[in-house]
Amino acid sequence: MNNEHIRCLILGSGPAGYTAAIYASRANLNPVLYAGLQPGGQLTTTTEVENFPGYPEGITGPEMMEQIKQQALRFGTDVRTGLATAVDFTQKPYKVTIDGTTTLTCDTLIIATGATAKYLGLPDEEKYAGMGVSACATCDGFFYRNRSVAVVGGGDTACEEAIYLAGLAKQVYLIVRKSYLRASQVMQDRVLNNPKITVLFEHNTLGLFGEDGVEGAHLVKRKGEQDEKLVDIAIDGFFLAIGHKPNTDFLSGQVALDESGYIATLNGSPLTSVAGVFAAGDVADPRYRQAITSAGSGCKAALEAEKYLIDNNL
């Protein structure tokens, strides 16, 4: 398949990628979509999805992504396995390398490669994935109404997650590795003044425990100090809020990124610094990171791609 030319190439198979594919297919752009490292995106690691319109009874993440994929296939999207490993935007048509071996050219490109949540690296995070461990309070907080949860992190994101969860849960522990919060002062004040939030400064998580799901966490206070102390807390949910890493390493300076590595877009549109290259979903969204906003941005990216092809007689 070397030297294959594609009119509209889509990288990524989450809500953004598949929605872009649906719109591009219906516009006869003959899109080819490469599913990437995690086919179906982050939603495939989520159990119940209850906040996506059209599913009044809820749906599992994998099932919803399979349905969206089938919709893209129905309109003719060519869905392939493979991961983009390099790009060259220095001349048209643009070049994209898949799996380090296959080089394609394309007239327009939609990048929807998403972002990866950062984890502590504990084996228990995998053991309890979907059974109490989450990296998205907005996605999964609803399931912990009137229960006890913990949030790991000390920045603005962690404080925002803790405050959000405090509106649902009966008790929120904020596990902070340092002796202070890194969050902005206004966020610190909101956390420290919230009666439902207990900040555990100078605590590190050692592991989780529970039979059929998370029932608690093993912590260590002042690790490595003379007064080091082991602490257990009873919780039902364990939320990671130590950041996300956008999947943009393969772009290697070919398109403008922000200081955190997310693709920089023009005034909230899918337009990037390279004409004909568009970004959709979490790869360009450090703020919302929701399936519905990703789907919406995928729609916009496909519409912009169609306009670009028409304007340039491609």
**Which residues are identified as catalytic?**
136, 139-140
Which residue's structure tokens are 């995106």?
A: 41
Q: What is the DSSP letter of 292?
A: H
User: How far is the C-alpha of 244 from the C-alpha of 49, rounded, in Å?
Assistant: 20
308 residue type, one letter: Y
User: How far is the C-alpha of 246 from the C-alpha of 61, rounded, in Å?
Assistant: 20
| Host H or E run for residue 39 | none
Of residues 125, 162, 119, the one with CA closest to residue 144: 162
Tokens encoding 137 = 């309070």
Sheet architecture: strand order including 203-209: 203-209, 216-221, 229-234
User: How far is the C-alpha of 170 from the C-alpha of 166, rounded, in Å?
Assistant: 7
SS3 106: strand
53: preceding bond cis by omega (within 30 degrees): no
SS3 262: coil
Could you tell me where the beta strands, DSSP code E, fall in the chain? 4-11, 32-34, 48-49, 59-60, 78-80, 84-88, 94-98, 102-111, 115-117, 133-134, 148-152, 171-175, 197-200, 203-209, 216-221, 229-234, 237-240, 244-246, 277-279
Distance, CA of 300 to chain centre: 18
Q: What is the DSSP string of 116-139?
A: EE-----HHHHHTBTTTEES-HHH
